[in-house]
Each structure stands twice: as C-alpha cells, then as structure tokens.
Chain A
C-alpha cells in the first residue's frame, strides 16, 4: 500500500514539474504509438473494408487467420522483427534496429490484426445493409470501400482506439527491437520494465500512472472531437 501512495505522489510531482526525462519519454511513447496507429490504420482499414466487400475463394481462411493473429504474443513479433532487422538479417542494411522506426514497425504488425478484424466486422454489417443500393446506384469497388468506411467511421474509431490501447501499453516487442536505449529508444513501458527490474516499484508505478493518465486524456480528447456521445447512434 505504501508503494501505491508513494507512486501517486511521485507521479504527481513528475507531471507537475514537467520533469525533463519524463517529458522526453512521454513524447517518444506518443510519437511511436501514434505513428504506428496512423500507419496501421492506413493499411488496415481499407484492407478490412476490402475483404468485407470482395468475395474470393479463400476469404473465410484469411479472416480466420487474421482473427487468430490477434492473440499473437507481442514478444514473438518482436523476435521476428529483430531477426529481420538484425545486421545479420535480410534487412540489416537498412540500419533500422534499435531505432524508434523499428519500434513503429513492430507495433504496426502487432495492431494490424485488431484493426483489420474490427473493421471487417463493422463493414460487413454495413455492407449487408447497403449492398443493393450501392450496386444499383453504380459504384466502383473503390467507391464502395470509401462510402462504407466513411459511414462506418464511428465503429472504425473504436477499432483505431483499440489499436492505440494495445500499442501504448506494449513492452515486449519494443524492448527487443528498440533496445530500451536511454535517450534514444526508451519509452514509458520499457522504462517501467527497467525500474521494476531494479526494484524501484514506486517509480515504476508512478510511470504507470502517467501512462494511464495519458491514455485516458487521449481517449477523452478524441471522443470529444468526434462528438461520439452527443448525438444518437450512427
């Protein structure tokens, strides 16, 4: 209990004093995760919509595999990305290992299945509704995807926020591909792991509290901007 109280006061002071190290780590956490979410959304949302709309022979298997990948342990993704980006690996020449870019790559891979899966399900339901209209009115396949994505945007926002949540709290993969290098690839989650390992529980908890506060603030901000709770259902 003492640890938690110490943590709360430590978190408070860190935030209020704009502790330089903390600000740096927070900024890095956000820029890595936001980049990963943006990139994964640009790939995953249209792809999820596309497989919802297109009929092809192996669709059922593709969907099953993507759903299964949601349960993939992030550490495994980290190991695979490490092997690929290692200097001894196929993409070693790119010199990406132990950089924030490598962390973004790992996080994109980790959250893609969630984004695709939720998008696919939402779009499928909407497509069932719009099907005859969109065909009758004369849309190209791409126009269908865009229309569905736009009209389903509230559900898609949920998908994106789910992806964000998964990425901001992830530690295993980015530890391996980022290396938790001080001032270079250290983020909130890896810092928490480090302090826990050193036995400094109250600092670790304080960082954890900061992480949760950031996640809550971001979520609130996004919901306010998109007025999700204001009007009725979409």
Chain B
C-alpha cells in the first residue's frame, strides 16, 4: 500500500512537470509592480485567446527578472527600468527593447502629512520637503525599477540616498506590496506605482498625496532575448507576444483597464516592423 502511494504521488508530480513545457507555453518574467496592478489577469487570458500562447508569469523584482533573462531561464522580460534594459541589450542578452505602455509613480504618505506634500506638484520639491522634515520614508532598496527611479529622483533633488540618515530613510529591500505594508505600519512616506497603491488592501492611515510630475512617468518595455546566447528559448513565441502587445487590441485593453474607476496605464507602443 505504501508503495502504491509512493508511485501515485511521484507520477503525479512528474506528470505536472511534463505539462509545463508544452509547445505553446512561454515564460515571461515581469515585475511585482506590473503583477500587482492586476493588468496581467486581463492580458494573459486575452493572449491565450488571440494567439494560443500560454504565458507563464514569473513575478519577481526587476533585478531578478533581468537575471533570469541573462541566464536564459525565461523567454522574455517585461520591466520598467530603461537604463538597466539598455545595458541588458548592450551586453548582448536582448535583441530588442519594445515600449508597451507607461504608468506613473505617486507619493503616498500619512494623512497627517508632516512634509506638506498635498500642495506640491513637483517631485523634487516633495523629496526635499521630506528630507527637511526628516519624515519617515520607506525605500524599496531592492535595485528594482521603482527603487532606481526613486534614487534618481533624490539625485535630481540634490540628495544622495547613500548619505541619507537611516533614522528616517528606511531601505527595506522588499517588493512593492511588502514595502507598502511597512510604510503603512510605520506611517511613513513612500514612492509607489499607482496601480500597486490602488490594489493595496492595507492602506491604514496612508493616503495618495502628490502626483503628476512628468519625471514620475514609468515606462514599461518588453525585452526579447537573444537566441544566439540561449538557443533553446522560444523566440518565435516571444515575437508573437511582442506583436500582440503592440497590437490595437492589446493597446486598447491596456488603455481601458481601470481600478476604482481610474485608468492606470497609457499605451504608447509604436508599430513594430515584422522582422
């Protein structure tokens, strides 16, 4: 009897791994921000319907997504960190960078708003104010797209994040949801992408305080991987995915996606030449 149970569970596990790499399946590494927006729940079934491709999402941080791309463990990467993406292509791991859509970052903070962000439209002014009042601020601290954007914004405001005092500048090394949790727990300011904020269920006494500065726009791009580095990857499917994401249907789905009556993404793909 024991042997039967053993054989049963082993075969089940094996069966499930075979099913995984069927012909029309591809793996796409995406960032937690993208996944948390909920947009993938709309797009993935639509992709299956229109192209027959089953897209498996690996939801990880930007750094890990690019690493998986370098290792050849995924077939394509969708992140929002232009500098890192361009470096990726320069290093020869990716063949092309295709812009798909953008959303924006927003400033979240305690309703009490000690740094008075509610009246501020410019990101740099907001950051300077937070620093001046030494109000608690949670940073992703994980080399993600969001984190890199945050660091560059501080730089634009004339402040080096390495030198900020850790009594109020808290680097948590976590994903967006986890970082928002911590900010909620600490009643701290935090830079988040709008979608993650709208979907976040633990808002506590945090509120959306400031937004709109163009430097806060957040461009998502799809990276197709270089088949020369990793011949086994599903380049054909990646190309199909790319073509779908820039198609009218996809762009419409992206542009009309809402949470609580608010649209989150602005589709901005240019037509891709069929190569």
Contact = CB atoms under 8 A, between A and B. Distances in A.
A201 B70 CA distance: 34
B201 A201 contact: yes
A180 B27 CA distance: 12
B58 A87 contact: no
B13 A98 contact: no
Nearest to A198: B177
A98 B177 contact: no
* Residue of A97, A99, A197 with most partner-chain B CB within 10 A: A197
B92 to A, nearest CB: 14
Given A87-B230, A197-B32, A98 B9 contact: no
Q: How many B residues are at the interface, by size bracket?
A: 35 or more
Contact of A199 (B14, B17, B59, B201): B201
Contact of A35 (B9, B57, B73): B9
Interface of A: 28, 31-32, 34-35, 38-39, 86-89, 92, 95-101, 104, 179-182, 184, 194, 196-201
Contacts, number: 96
A31 B13 contact: yes
B199 interface: yes
A179 B17 contact: no
Contacts of A92: 72
11 contacts: A87-B232, A88-B72, A89-B71, A97-B73, A100-B13, A100-B16, A181-B27, A181-B56, A181-B57, A197-B32, A197-B177
Contacts of A182: 56-57
Interface in B35-50: 36
Contacts of B200: 198-199
B71 A99 contact: no
10 closest pairs, A vs B, by CB?
A197-B177, A199-B202, A99-B17, A87-B72, A88-B71, A101-B17, A179-B58, A198-B177, A199-B201, A199-B200
A104 B13 contact: yes
Contacts of B17: 96, 99-101
A98 B56 contact: yes
Contacts of A28: 16
Nearest to B179: A197
Contact of A181 (B9, B36, B58, B184): B58
B224 to A, nearest CB: 16
B259 to A, nearest CB: 13
A200 B201 contact: yes
Given A98-B58, A199-B202, 15 more contacts: A31-B13, A32-B13, A34-B9, A35-B13, A38-B10, A87-B232, A97-B73, A101-B13, A180-B59, A194-B59, A197-B175, A197-B177, A198-B199, A199-B200, A199-B201
Given A31-B13, A38-B9, A198-B199, A98 B73 contact: yes
B137 to A, nearest CB: 19
A194 to B, nearest CB: 8
Contacts of B20: 98-99, 184
B56 A95 contact: no
B178 interface: yes
Nearest to A99: B17
B161 interface: no
B222 interface: no
